[in-house]
C-alpha cells in the first residue's frame, strides 16, 4: 500500500525589512504553508508574496494566527479577552483569505501559533474563541493543531473539520505529549528525526520510553529557520519519498 | 418627485483604549458607515462591534482604508510603493469582509481615507493601486471618493461601480474642488451647511462664487467628532427628510 | 500644625490622534504628574508637551512606566522577561528625562502603571526589575507605588527613596489593600471620597470595616478621565486646602 | 606621520525576534557604533545589549535616529512636522543615553538614519529639527552626517561639534556628493573600496571622474548586512592598519 502524508512549515514570518527562515527553500519541500498574518509576524506585502509563491508551487495555504505581539513573536503569554481574540483571529483569517484569492488560491486551514498554540491545548476559553472564529468565517476551514488539544476537541464538537500534526525532531512522552524542551533528549538528532518522520508517515506511530504509541497525524511540521533546519526538512522529504510515501496536502 | 440620498460617516476610528467620535449617535443618522480597518485607526474588536451595530441599524458597511500610520492617523504623506499599498488595501478589505460576514452583513464599498484620499485625486499610481486592490478582492465593491478624482476615473475604466460624495460643511470652488481649509469661508456655518446638504440632495448642485455647479453625488459625508458635529449631522438629516428626501444607502 | 500632601494624576495618556483625560484641568489641580512614556500610552510629542505644561504649572514630573502594550493600555498581563522589562523601563525613564530637561524641569520619580503596578505588588522578579531599572538610571529617583508592595520593599532595601500613595475614591480592606472593584462598596461616592482624602492628608489613616487603619502615604492619586472625575479632583483639592492642608510635591 | 581615522557602522538594527547584520563581527572592526533607537529599528533589550557589547569592545556609542517607521525601516519619506520630529529625536537620544549609562559608557554622537539622513542634506526645516534636538539634550554631542549637508552647516552655526563621514564602497561625483545608486559604477568593487578607504584615511581625498577631491571626513561608514559586507569591513580595517593608520574613535 502507498502511504501519503502532508508536510507543513511556518512561512512569511518576516516583518518589514526583516526576514526569518528560508521561505523559498521550504516552498520546494512542503505541501502546506502556515502563513503568518501580521499579528505575531508577517505584513501584507509578505502575505501576498507567500500566497503567490505557494500557488505557483502547488502548496496549500493556511492561516497561522496569534494575538498581537510582534515584539514577542507571539511566544509570550498575553491576557487577551476571548472576544478580542475572536475578533483578532477573524481579522487575520479574512485578510489572508483576500490575499490568497488575489493569488489565485485559497485558505484551506487555520493553525494557532506560538503561545496561542500552547494555551489552546488545555484552556477551553481560548480554544473556544479559536473555534468560533474559524466557524464564523468559513466552516470548511480545517483546524490544525497538536493531537489531544482542547481546540481539536471543541472544533470536532462544533462540526468543523480537524487535523493533527506531528513533529519529526521532538521526542514524545508516553502520554502522547511533546517532551518539554528542558528535558535531556527532547530534541532528536538528524537521523532520529528522519526515522521518526518515516514512522509517523508509514505507521502513524511514534517511539516513546514506554514503547510505541499511535499518533494519528495528517501532517508533519518542519522548520526552516536555519540552514541545518532546511537540510533536515529536505532529508525528511527525500526519505519519505524513497520509502514510497507521497507528499500530499492534507486539505 | 421624491429625491433620495445616502449619508456616510467615518466610524470605528478608535484604537485599543482610545475612542474618537460618537459612533452610536452617527449610526442613528447615516445610511453608510466608513469603517476604519486597523491601519490608520481601528482594531479588530472595534471593527467587529461597528459591523454588528451597523447591521442592527440597517447601515451599510464600507472599508475605510489607508496605509499604515496609526500615529499620524493616515493624515501624513508616506512614500508607500504601489505594490505594498495594494497589499495593505487587500488586507484591510479582506479583514472587514470577514468581520461583516460574522456580523451578518457585508462590505459594499471602499473609500480611501485621509492623505490617501487626497493623493488618489491626482496621483495615478496611487489611484491605480487602489483600483487594483478593490478589483482583485471583489469587483462588485463600489469605489467611493470625491468627484473628479483619478481613482474614480480609473475605477470606472476598470469596470468597477463608482460613487462620488459631497460635503455639507465645506465651500466649493468653481472648479468643483473643495475650497482649501486655509481660505476664509472654507468652512460653512450650521445653516449654510444644512442648506448645502439640501441643495446637494434635491438638485445635485452646489453654490460657488461663480454660480451654481452640478455636483453629481450619491452620498454626503458627515462628521461626528464633536457634539457640535453630531448635532449638525442630526439637523442635516432632519432637514433632508422634512424636504421629502429619503435617506437610503447608495449601495 | 499644618499638614501637607501631594496630589498625583496620570497625564499624557493619549497616543497620536487620540486623547484620554483632561490634562489641562489636572495640571491646575495636582502637584505631581505621572507621565506616560510611550509603551502603554503617550508619544514623544505628547511627552514633550506635558513636560512643558508641568514645568509651567510648577508640577513635578514622574515617569509612568509599563511594558509595551498600547492596544491593551498596559492593563493586560504580559509575560515579559525581567531583563526585557528592565531595558524597557530604562528606555522610558531615559526618554522622559530628556523631554523634562528640554522643558526646563526634571524627572523626580517613577511609578509603575496598570498591570505592572499590580504585578509588582507580590511578584518579586517583576519588582526587582523595576528597582534595578530605577537604580541603574538615577539613584535619586523616588519609587512611587502602593503601600505594602514588594517593589517598595525592594527599593528601600536597595537604598532608593520611596513613597506610597493612597486613593480617595477606593475603599480599603482591613489589611490595608484596596477592596477589589468587584465587591459592592469598593468605589466611594463623591462625599466619601472627599472625606477619605481629608483623612489621608490630615491623619494618614483610612476607615475600614474593622476600624481605622494607619496609611502612611505621601500622595493621593486622582483621576481625570471624565468630567465627573475632574470635578471630584477639584473638590478634593478644595477640601484639603479649606482644612489647612497645603498641596505640595512629595519630591 | 601616522594617520588615524574612525570606522563606524549601523548596529542593533533588529527588532523583537528579528536580527539584521552581524553585530558581533562589526564590534570587532569598528570604533564607533550607530545604535538604532527603536523608531526605524531596535528595541530596548537590543539597545541595552549593543551598549554593553560596545563598552566591552571599547567602541563609542552614537544614537542612530529617525522618525517612527519600523515597517519601512526609516527608508520611506514621511511627512513629519518639525516639532514632532524634534520630540521623537529627543526621545531616542534620551533613551540611548540611559542605556549607555547603564552599560557604563556614554552616547557621544548622533547620526540621522535613512531617509532622514537624506532629507537633512537639503531640507533646512528637517536639519533644524535635528540640530535643535541634539542641542536641547546635550550640547557636547557630535552631529555626524555626510559632508555638505545642511544639518552639518546648521549644527556648526549652532555651536555644536560636527563630523563628516565618507563611504568606502560608493563612488563620488566631482561635486563631492555620492553617485546615485541608479548609475553604473556607483558601487565600488572590493579592491576599489579598500583603496578608497585608504585614500580617505591617509589623504582625506577621493577620486572622481574629474580628478581627486578633498574629502575631510572623520570616519568611514562600513556595512555589515551580509557576509561579504563583513569581509569587506575586515579587509578595510586590515589595509588601513597595514598602512599605518590607527583606528580611533572620532569622539
C-alpha cell at C225: 478621565
- Convert the pLDDT of each residue in D128-143 to its tens digit: 999 999 999 999 999 9
Mean pLDDT of C80-90: 98
List C residues 173-202 in contact with A (Cβ-Cβ < 8 A): none
A80–chain C Cβ distance below 8 A for any pair: yes
- The pLDDT value recorded for residue A3 is 85
Best A91, A101, A135 residue to mutate vs chain B (most B CBs within 10 Å): A91
Is pLDDT of C54 > 80?
yes
- Convert the pLDDT of each residue in B189-204 to its tens digit: 999 999 999 999 999 9
- The pLDDT value recorded for residue A140 is 98
**Whole-number average pLDDT of chain C:** 96
Q: Which residues contact C35 (CB under 8 A, 6 or more apart)?
A: C11, C12, C42, C47, C50, C51, C54, C61, C62, C63, C64, C96
- The lowest-confidence range among A162-166, B117-121, B190-194, D179-183 is D179-183
Quick check: C212 and C206 in contact, CB under 8 A? yes
Planar angle of CA B115, B222, B73, nearest 5 degrees: 30
Find, among A61, A68, A158, A69, the residue nearest to A110 by Cα. A61
From chain C, pick out residues whose CB is under 8 angstroms from the CB of B41. 17
From chain B, pick out residues whose CB is under 8 angstroms from the CB of C75. 17
Q: Which residue has 514621511 as its cell numbers?
A: D78
Is pLDDT of C122 > 90?
yes
The full length of chain A comes to: 251
C-alpha cell at C49: 508637551
Mean pLDDT of C23-38: 97
**Whole-number average pLDDT of chain A:** 96
- The pLDDT value recorded for residue A226 is 85
Is pLDDT of D146 > 60?
yes
Q: Which residues contact D75 (CB under 8 A, 6 or more apart)?
A: A17, D40, D69, D114, D115
Mean pLDDT of D202-223: 95
Q: Is D177 helix (H, G, I), strand (E, B) or coil?
A: coil
Q: Please state, in angstroms and rounded to a whole number, the distance separating the CA atoms of residues A86 and A88.
A: 5
For residue C80, the chain A residue with the least C-alpha distance is A76
Contact criterion met (CB < 8 Å) for B90 and A96: no
The full length of chain B comes to: 251
- Convert the pLDDT of each residue in B20-31 to its tens digit: 999 999 999 999
Is pLDDT of C127 > 70?
yes
DSSP 8-state class, residue D169: S
| pLDDT grade for D2, boundaries at 50, 70 and 90 | low
In percent, the amount of chain D with pLDDT more than 70 equals 99
From chain C, pick out residues whose CB is under 8 angstroms from the CB of A80. 72, 76
DSSP 8-state class, residue A159: T
Is pLDDT of B1 > 50?
no
Quick check: D152 and D144 in contact, CB under 8 A? no
DSSP 8-state class, residue D226: S
Largest CA distance in chain A: 49
| pLDDT grade for A2, boundaries at 50, 70 and 90 | low
Give the number of C-D residue pairs with CB atoms closer than 8 Å.
Answer: 83
Q: Please state, in angstroms and rounded to a whole number, the distance separating the CA atoms of residues B208 and D143.
A: 52
Is pLDDT of C2 > 90?
no
In percent, the amount of chain A with pLDDT more than 90 equals 95
- The pLDDT value recorded for residue D225 is 84
- The pLDDT value recorded for residue C59 is 98
- The pLDDT value recorded for residue C225 is 84
| pLDDT grade for C1, boundaries at 50, 70 and 90 | very low
**DSSP per-residue letters across C164-188:** EEEESSB-B-TTSSBPPTTSTT-B-
Q: What residues form DSSP beta bridges with A220?
A: A7, A166
Quick check: D230 and D41 in contact, CB under 8 A? no
- The pLDDT value recorded for residue D1 is 47
| Ordered alpha helix ranges (H), chain D | 23-27, 44-57, 82-102, 114-122, 124-137, 150-157, 190-203, 227-242
C95–chain D Cβ distance below 8 A for any pair: yes
From chain A, pick out residues whose CB is under 8 angstroms from the CB of C78. 72, 76-79
User: For B76, which of D71, D72, D80 is closest by C-beta distance?
Assistant: D80
Contact criterion met (CB < 8 Å) for A71 and D20: no
B41–chain C Cβ distance below 8 A for any pair: yes
**Whole-number average pLDDT of chain D:** 96
Contact criterion met (CB < 8 Å) for A71 and C76: no
- Convert the pLDDT of each residue in A149-204 to its tens digit: 999 999 999 999 999 999 999 999 999 989 998 999 999 999 999 999 999 999 99
- The pLDDT value recorded for residue C16 is 98
Best D18, D20, D21 residue to mutate vs chain A (most A CBs within 10 Å): D18
ipTM above 0.90, yes or no: yes
Amino acid at each position: 500500500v502507498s502511504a501519503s502524508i502532508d508536510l507543513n512549515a511556518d512561512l512569511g514570518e518576516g516583518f518589514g525589512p526583516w526576514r526569518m527562515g528560508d521561505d523559498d527553500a521550504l516552498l520546494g519541500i512542503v505541501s502546506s504553508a502556515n502563513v503568518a498574518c501580521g499579528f505575531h509576524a508577517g505584513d501584507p506585502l509578505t502575505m501576498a508574496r507567500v500566497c503567490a509563491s505557494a500557488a505557483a508551487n502547488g502548496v496549500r495555504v493556511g492561516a497561522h494566527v496569534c494575538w498581537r505581539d510582534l515584539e514577542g513573536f507571539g511566544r509570550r503569554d498575553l491576557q487577551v479577552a476571548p472576544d478580542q481574540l475572536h475578533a483578532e483571529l477573524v481579522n487575520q483569517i479574512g485578510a489572508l483569505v483576500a490575499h490568497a484569492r488575489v493569488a489565485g488560491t485559497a485558505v484551506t486551514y487555520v493553525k494557532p501559533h506560538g503561545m496561542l498554540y500552547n494555551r489552546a491545548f488545555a484552556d477551553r476559553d481560548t480554544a473556544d474563541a479559536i473555534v468560533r472564529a474559524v466557524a464564523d468565517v468559513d466552516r470548511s476551514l480545517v483546524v490544525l493543531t497538536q493531537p489531544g488539544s482542547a481546540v481539536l476537541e471543541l472544533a470536532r464538537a462544533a462540526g468543523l473539520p480537524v487535523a493533527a500534526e506531528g513533529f519529526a525532531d521532538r521526542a514524545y512522552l508516553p502520554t502522547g505529549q511533546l517532551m518539554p524542551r528542558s528535558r535531556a533528549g527532547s530534541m532528536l538528532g538528524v537521523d532520529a528525526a528522519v526515522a521518526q518522520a518515516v514512522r509517523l508517515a508509514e505507521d502513524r506511530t511514534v517511539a516513546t520510553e514506554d514503547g510505541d504509541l499511535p499518533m494519528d497525524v495528517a501532517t508533519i511540521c518542519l522548520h526552516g529557520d536555519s540552514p541545518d533546519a532546511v537540510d533536515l526538512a529536505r532529508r525528511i522529504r527525500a526519505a519519505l519519498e524513497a520509502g514510497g510515501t507521497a507528499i500530499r496536502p492534507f486539505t
